[in-house]
Chain A
Amino acid sequence: MVSSNTDARTAIRGWLQENVTGGRDVPDDEPLIDNGVMTSLQTVELVVFLEDTFGLVVEDEEFDEENFGSIEAIARLVESKAA
């Protein structure tokens, strides 16, 4: 299990490239949902990945665009849960 913020970012970036964006680098602040980068189903898969990798649980109410709108936001959520 990893928990530092840098690791969260790296893990999220890696997952995105492998599953969503291909070779393209996604800036940490790029809107993922509003710009249609990631679909809802892909986000569900990302949540499963994060829950498995970091041993955390994402509650229904926090599973939203505010927390999943960018790499930055997701990393913040992971970090707050790991803290």
Chain B
Amino acid sequence: MRARPEFTLHDLLHNSVASDPHRPAVVDGDAHHSYENLERESAALGGALAEAGVERGDRVGVYMEKSWEAIVAMLAASRLGAAYVNVNPQFKAPQVEYLAGDCDIRVMIGDTPKLEGLGPKTIQTAFYRGARPEGHAARSYVDVAEALDGGGLAEDRKVSESDLGTILYTSGSTGMPKGVATSQRNVVVGAQIVSTYLQNTSEDRILSALPLNFDAGMSQFTTSLRAGATLYLLRSRLPGDLLKALRRHEITGLTGVPPLWALLIRGAKSLRENPPTHLRYLANTGGRIPQANLDELRALLEPAGTKIFLMYGLTEAFRSTYLPPEEIHRSSPEQGNCIGKAIPNTEIMVITKGGQEAAPGEPGELVHRGPTVAMGYWGNEEATRRAYRPNPLAPPELLDVERVVYSGDTVKRDEEGYLYFLGREDAMIKNQGYRLSPEEVENLLLGSGLVHEACAFGVENPAVGQDVIAVISLRDGGEEAVDKIREYVIENGPPYMVPREILVRDELPKTGSGKIDRKGISSAYANG
């Protein structure tokens, strides 16, 4: 029995508190935090945020390693009617400063060393975890530990499902990340849908191995919150730590991206000798698992009762499809990369270039219709109009008010309705579960001041999805500049954006219209 209808993220919290206040909501290291604690501390932090001037509709940044405080921060913002913006903890100052400007983050909750890395006056108020930060990233500082001890909000603000719930940043083709504005309704319905097909209950112990800024990582938290389950935060994804966490906490559910499975499989011997019998399901997202890894995972885990879900999602619509465990044989080298069928309460259309529904077997663009379709890209009308379009199959009498998401992914549907991923139209690179625009890598390279022209592209590497390769020409100087460029990129960008190889050419080939010929350069690379 749910005490409240589910409209907002904090409605999910209140229901779980009502049904079992003492159950651990979050386990971070050795600390167990009950649902009651989550309610109390999110009210306390909410009160402190309100005192710092956070209004309904404001954006609150969360720039920290995955932690209890990061979880509390999301709920604190939600209870104020503010949107939380989970910043990739791997981001360096240039990306974070851009984000803070892009969606006007005035209050940021962060780890001290991360806040110290930001330029002067990036934000107004910093809530720090750790020692008081040095430097001038903010005008005023509040200690998170003190805020969590405070009196807090007397009551939640009036918040509706139509309010902005969060902004999920994803790689953008303008060279900087773009924010997907996601409503409270998107977040809540996403949790309802995912917890329905994964059949989550309060008995679940879910291992959080993905970052919270990533849609699937956030989804693990929201589904756990809705189910009243326990979320175990894991920062290290090293094989030894994964194995220990699975066993020690008797984990029942784990969602990850392909590189995580490769790490888990490194522990194959140990898994074979001592299988994680409590693991009810394992769910993959963020790209295809290399077949050899999938076969090995199945061989290692299915005999012990683990079910494997293959999922596909777009940040623009949170989650889109999944292949249920009993159909997993459909994803195979012969049949292709099967991504299953639409998640509950969602329709997936395959639309041809001519705007018609594709026939079985005919390639078309995956178009997503349903309640998780987000509000659009924050502050970017042009990109929003490109991706969020009227439903092509709606009857004309309904005018064009409904928006669906055009994914940019090419798929086909078989006679039985199963969808197969074929590829992407654009040049997006898929690296370590991240969708990365080559422009963003090129922009970072150019930022070094040493690069004249840059071209980045992806090269297949089953272990990580695609490796990032960069071909550049130099402003001046010789090959020794490459070390400096590399150093700059490492210091100013997240690890998945650092090219595996940086190759120098005198000049980069251009297309007829004078643009750098990315296709030509990448196929020349592929051909050696």
Contacts and interface: CB of A to CB of B under 8 A. Distances in A.
Interface of A: 19-24, 33-36, 39-44, 60-69
Nearest to B114: A36
Given A24-B491, A35-B113, A61-B270, A40 B237 contact: yes
Contacts, number: 80
B90 interface: yes
Contacts of A23: 487, 491
Contacts of B488: 22
B266 A41 contact: no
Contacts of B417: none
B508 interface: no
Interface of B: 65, 89-90, 111, 113, 235-241, 243-244, 259-260, 263, 266-270, 432, 464, 486-491, 495-496
B261 to A, nearest CB: 12
A65 B209 CA distance: 14
A29 B268 CA distance: 31
A38 to B, nearest CB: 8
A64 B90 contact: no
B235 A34 contact: yes
Specify the main secondary structure of chain B where it touches its partner.
Answer: helix
Given A33-B235, A36-B90, A60 B266 contact: yes
26 contacts: A22-B486, A22-B487, A23-B487, A33-B238, A34-B65, A34-B236, A35-B111, A36-B89, A40-B236, A40-B237, A40-B260, A41-B259, A41-B495, A44-B263, A60-B240, A60-B243, A60-B267, A60-B268, A60-B270, A61-B240, A61-B243, A61-B270, A63-B238, A63-B239, A65-B238, A65-B240
Given A24-B491, A68-B238, 7 more contacts: A22-B487, A33-B235, A36-B235, A60-B266, A64-B236, A64-B240, A64-B244
A62 B239 CA distance: 9
Contacts of A63: 238-240, 266-267
Nearest to A60: B267
B432 A41 contact: yes
A14 to B, nearest CB: 13
B257 to A, nearest CB: 11
Contacts of A64: 236, 238-241, 244
